[in-house]
């Protein structure tokens, strides 16, 4: 009886952790959409007040906006990994209580869940889901170089 209650509690916690992970995932998607929207609004606003001429400040503002959203998204990604690691522990507890062998990659790979905190932080900043920020930074850098070499005005 006690074993069944522990299994049920762990399953309930897994469900709650899964819902929280989905919310973080949705939040990451919304962050990306908000980043693009913010860039266009802020740049339109700045261009209007610089008499519709390009200025280095536009490129600096773009770097700042993209970097801020990138760090916000990375933080959410970091917590997704932590939640998945907790889910994996609960899942393995359920399997152990039900006398089954724990699975290594049921929720998250061991390599991701066992990383040190600095490595998890780095992985949060540098992963495939952050490609939008890399692209935005690269495009901004190309535009800045073209501006500095007077190819665009």
Is the residue at 85 inside a domain?
yes
Specify if 153 maps to a domain: no
pLDDT, tens digit, 9 for 90 and up, residues 72-89: 999 999 999 999 999 999
- Looking up tokens 């897994």 gives 14
What is the span of the domain harbouring residue 33?
2-148
DSSP string, 37-75: HHHHHHHHHHHHHTTT---HHHHHHHHHHHHHHHHHHHH
Tens digits of residue pLDDT in 33-64: 999 999 999 999 888 888 888 889 999 999 99
Task: Quote the CA–CA distance of 115 and 96 in Å, as a whole number.
Answer: 23
Question: Count of domains in the chain?
Answer: 1
The answer to whether residue 97 is domain-embedded is yes
Tell me, yes or no, whether 13 lies in a domain.
yes
Residue 126: Cβ within 10 Å count: 10
Q: Which residue has the tokens 């606003």?
A: 45
Tokens of residue 58, six digits: 């536009």
Residue 61 lies in a domain: yes
Question: Is residue 90 in some structural domain?
Answer: yes
pLDDT at residue 56, as a whole number: 92
Q: Note the pLDDT of residue 110.
A: 81
User: What is the structure's pLDDT at 3?
Assistant: 84
89-131 residue pLDDT tens: 998 889 888 887 776 666 788 888 889 999 999 999 999 999 9
């Amino acid at each position: 009886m006690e074993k069944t209650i522990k299994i049920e509690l762990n399953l309930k916690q897994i469900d709650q952790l899964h819902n929280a992970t989905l919310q973080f995932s949705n939040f990451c998607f919304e962050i990306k959409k908000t980043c693009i929207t913010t860039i266009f609004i802020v740049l339109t606003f700045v261009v209007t007040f610089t008499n519709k001429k390009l200025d280095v400040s536009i490129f600096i503002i773009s770097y700042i906006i993209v970097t801020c959203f990138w760090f916000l998204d990375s933080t959410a990604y970091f917590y997704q990994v932590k939640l998945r690691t907790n889910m994996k522990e609960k899942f393995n507890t359920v399997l152990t209580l039900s006398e089954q062998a724990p699975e290594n990659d049921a929720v998250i790979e061991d390599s991701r869940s066992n990383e040190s905190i600095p490595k998890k932080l780095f992985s949060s900043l540098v992963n495939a889901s952050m490609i939008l920020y890399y692209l935005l930074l690269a495009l901004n850098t190309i535009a800045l170089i073209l501006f500095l070499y007077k190819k665009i005005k």
